[in-house]
Amino acid sequence: MHRPTHNVRSHEAFNAGAREVSGDAAGSNGWPPSTRTVTHIGRACVIEGLADFSLDDLRLVRDRFPRRHVTLDGDVITVWPTPLPHS
């Protein structure tokens, strides 16, 4: 079972524990406003929301990870790892 790297109880609590900071649209933490947890599984990043994310939320995450494949499925946004180079 994977454990979240960030649990969001309130925006204040999340801002204090944020590891990366970028973007103004979601405040100083750079994640969509309705973010509940951010979990890193290997090189992937899974953002779970308190409710369904919007297309604006998806754009915000895509801007944060410009060279990564980012998908939206209701209340989950997944940032997929980049493929490993062929040897």
pLDDT tens string for the chain (87 positions)? 555 555 544 443 344 344 443 334 454 578 999 999 999 999 999 999 999 999 999 999 999 999 999 999 999 999 999 988 876
The amino acid present at 70, given as its one-letter code, is V
* Beta-sheet pairing, 35-41 with 6-7: antiparallel
Angle of CA points 3, 13, 40, to nearest 5°: 25
pLDDT of residue 85: 85
In 3-state terms, what secondary structure has residue 72? Answer: strand
pLDDT of residue 5: 58
CA–CA gap between residue 75 and residue 52 (Å, rounded): 4
Nearest to 35 by CA among 54, 23, 69, 19: 54
